[in-house]
Amino acid sequence: MERDSQLKLYRVVADRLKEAHTVVRELQVPEGVRMALSRKLLVITAAAKHDLADAARRLDRLMKDLDEGRFPEDD
75 pLDDT band, cuts 50/70/90, is low
H or E segment and range at residue 56: helix 52-67
- pLDDT (tens digit per residue) in 17-48: 999 999 999 999 999 999 999 999 999 999 99
12 pLDDT band, cuts 50/70/90, is very high
1 pLDDT band, cuts 50/70/90, is low
The C-alpha atoms of residue 60 and residue 62 are separated, in whole angstroms, by 6
DSSP reduced 3-state for 75 = coil
Q: At what angle do helices 52-67 and 2-26 cross, to 10 degrees?
A: 30
The C-alpha atoms of residue 72 and residue 65 are separated, in whole angstroms, by 9
